[in-house]
Structure 1
Amino acid sequence: MPTEAPARRSYDAPAGVLDLTLEPERLSVGMVNAICNWRLLLRNAGDTHVVGLRVASDLAAAHATLGEREQLGGPGAGARIDTVSLLAPGQEVSLKGEWTLPLSEARVVFVAERATILPLARLRIVGAGIAPQRIAILIGVPAEEGGRVHPIDLESTRTVFRKLAARRIERALD
């Protein structure tokens, strides 16, 4: 699995810099779906306007048996699309939404003989004033050591997880 880093990063582009933070707010696990409510903060840290910003996003599940391109190459065809018409230098905008991950599509990871999943938010960001970016961010239960995240336990009696962490995967594909 590629290396993890904090979900807050600045991404340099030839004409500007886009700073983003993904905040997973709530993840609920039902019989059929896992649903993640989130907030994405975008800030133009550059000195030029970003025009026609489009953020395509979806939620998948990370798994060691899947290829890097399959996991990190998203978002897929049914992606959610958010748009920001103009982001001036220094301006920040907040996007909110919900992703649904059908559990039938999630590959289960067994940890200490318990079924778990590791949700993977996949973003593709394009706009005039920045280079196109593809970003993958793991979402899970915060770990105490090293800022890593633990998978979501599907066998837990808890079905709603409110204390979540997000960690960017360094090798997202362009």
Structure 2
Amino acid sequence: MLILLAFILIFHITSAALLFIATIDSAWWVGDGLYTDIWDRCFNVTNCTALNDSFPDYSSIQAIQATMVLSTILCCVAFFVFILQLFRLKQGERFVLTSLLQFLSCLCVMIAASIYTDRREEIHKGNNLGLFKVEYGEYGYSYILAWVAFAFTFLSGIMYLILRKRK
């Protein structure tokens, strides 16, 4: 049982780390000398512009930012709730609250990545600064990590739902 508990803790910490990296790092869309994420756009690594209301489809960007931050917060809260439930629950009870928080985190990251997938062309089109064209490029590793974090938080939520506190 101790090995299973250690595996679940490592899995949860990995999920949180993936969410932090996907939320913070500048690699949601990568092109020639261009790195863009949900916070700013960088051209040639030195010329960075924060995304603000002057960019097209800024409301979608705000929704992505909010849901990614919320998913990271929910994942961290779920970890602390799990630690508390580990010592407070009676033997044989399930970690339902922790599971619920992980599923909510999973839902938030899925919403953020889905909005970005759907609205990517509108977000990058019509760059009014004239610094770079974003038609050419590909999804970066932060975007991929967001989808991996979605799978990890979903599996973690299932594990917490099934897990019972045993001796």
Pick the TM interval, shorter chain.
under 0.3
Compare relative contact order (CA 8 Å, sep 6+) and give the higher one, 1 or 2: 2
Q: Structure 1 or 2: larger strand share?
A: 1
TM-score w.r.t. length of structure 2: 0.22
Give the TM-score, by structure 1 length. Answer: 0.21
